[in-house]
Amino acid sequence: MTKRILSILAASLFLTAANVPSNAASGLSSIEADEIQMSFSLVSAEFYKKVDPQTLLDGARSQMVAYLQKNGVPKPNVPTLRASEDANLNVRELEREVAGVVTAYGTKLGSRALTYEAISGMLASVKDKYTTFLTPKQYAELNEGLDGGGFSGVGISITIDDKTKILRVLDIIEGGPAEKSGVKAGDLITAVDGHTTKGLSPDDDTKLLRGTEGTIVHLSIERDGAAIAPIAVTRAVIHQPSVYAKMLDNGIGYARLTVFGSTTAAELTRALDKLEAQHAKAYILDLRDNGGGYLNAAIEVSSKFIPSGPIVSVESRGGSNTQYDAEDTAIPPRPLAVLVNRYTASASEITSGAIQDNGVGELIGEKTYGKGVVQTIHPLPDGSAVKITSARYLTPRGRDINQVGIAPDIATVEPKDARMGDPSNDAQLQSAITYLQGRIAKLGN
């Protein structure tokens, strides 16, 4: 079993509550007992601030009580536990309490649900919005988002058009079914198999587009303000890329990163190699709406533009500090603009801050989100996981951007009806193009 670290991939001790007896209490399976033990030990040891064990016990109890009341038990009998200085004793007492609740009420509600509530309550008690429990479904969805897990679909990246509230194609996966069938970036998909997309959420649209491999889906499309003939697309297994790249006019290479996942750095390397082969004179790195991912990805992406020096420093509980430097993989220096907005967060801010502090590019857009803390994800035996804020990070110049964000070098407001990646209707992209054209002219390229 391995742990996964969002925003930071650093070596640390994986505690498994090995010193706690593993005999499951009556009413709990051995797996459920182990998960309670592991979660208590992990949050106690890894949360980036010291944790009061009484807080964890109270949090588990409070959430179980609230869950029972919500499910028809008006006055549940869940005694208050008193923490001691013995961590093993505390976790055993908690395990026994959860087992007692399961014995009393588990016939109706189930031991797994009550175990999850106890763990969720512990994590919520530290009052950190990033420290949470993930069900197996949530953890699987997180992994798919970061790692582009295989699924059967049409091969497009989607958004909702602000003006029409209709599904819009943001990007096309190169070589995917949609591209082969003639779908283009910027198309409005008004209906999928006769079902309108107007007013639907991205999740609802995704459900319409995905389906069994080899089946055909019919897309009703508007392009450039006019309806075109419906397009039939045969679904295929897709690996969702995290990098979308293209060459803009005047020799400006453009790369949009949707996430900092396990394949992002390799995808960006391939994209930059293609753009370099097309004689790119400058680059735009689009990190808007990118909520982050893994630190190793942020370091590797930053290293493509920063030849040497620090990328980020990580401070863990107790004041220990680890500095991560560029990996000597930079492309030849080119004028660089990085697009950011209020949803540029976490690993995206690591890269943005590193580029800004090292002076290798200009940040253009709006102030970033301001997530300067680090989460470690620990899988649990049944496929669920605990996500714990384990450290904070600082930019190369020592800036703590948590709850502050990073101000752009060139501020440009993002209009509500902007079409990201479309120079004709993307003010921030156009601002970056204008800046880079000036740099290109100055360099005489």
- Catalytic residue positions? 346, 357, 371
273 closest CA partner among 332, 357, 350: 332
Look up residue 443 and give its two tokens: 């360099």
Cα 363 to Cα 48, 289, 290, 378, 431: the distances in Å are 30, 14, 14, 34, 11
**Which amino acid is it at 422?**
D
- CA dist 382 and 375 (Å) reads 20
* 258 residue type, one letter: T
Residue linked to tokens 């009998």: 77
User: For residue 440, what are its two tokens?
Assistant: 């290109």
Which pair of tokens denotes residue 399? 């800036």
Determine the Cα–Cα distance for residues 301 and 287; give it in Å rounded to an integer.
11
Extended beta strands in 235-342, E state = 236-238, 243-248, 252-257, 282-286, 310-316, 321-325, 336-340
Taking the C-alpha atoms of residue 315 and residue 374, their distance in angstroms, rounded to an integer, is: 9
Neighbouring residues of 330: CB distance < 8 A, sequence distance ≥ 6: 303, 304, 305, 306, 307
127 Ramachandran zone, left/alpha/beta (phi>0; psi -120 to 50) = left
Local structure of 388: helix, strand or coil: strand
Buried b (16+ CB within 10 A) or exposed e, 88-98: eebbbbbbbbb
DSSP 371-384: --EEEEEEE-TTS-
Q: Which two tokens stand for residue 54?
A: 């009484």
Supply 310's token pair: 């620090």
Helix 87-109 and helix 30-46, axial crossing angle in degrees, nearest 10: 130
- Burial of 121-159, coded b for 16+ CB within 10 Å and e otherwise, reads bbbbbbebebbbbbeeeebeebbebbbbeeebbbbbbbe
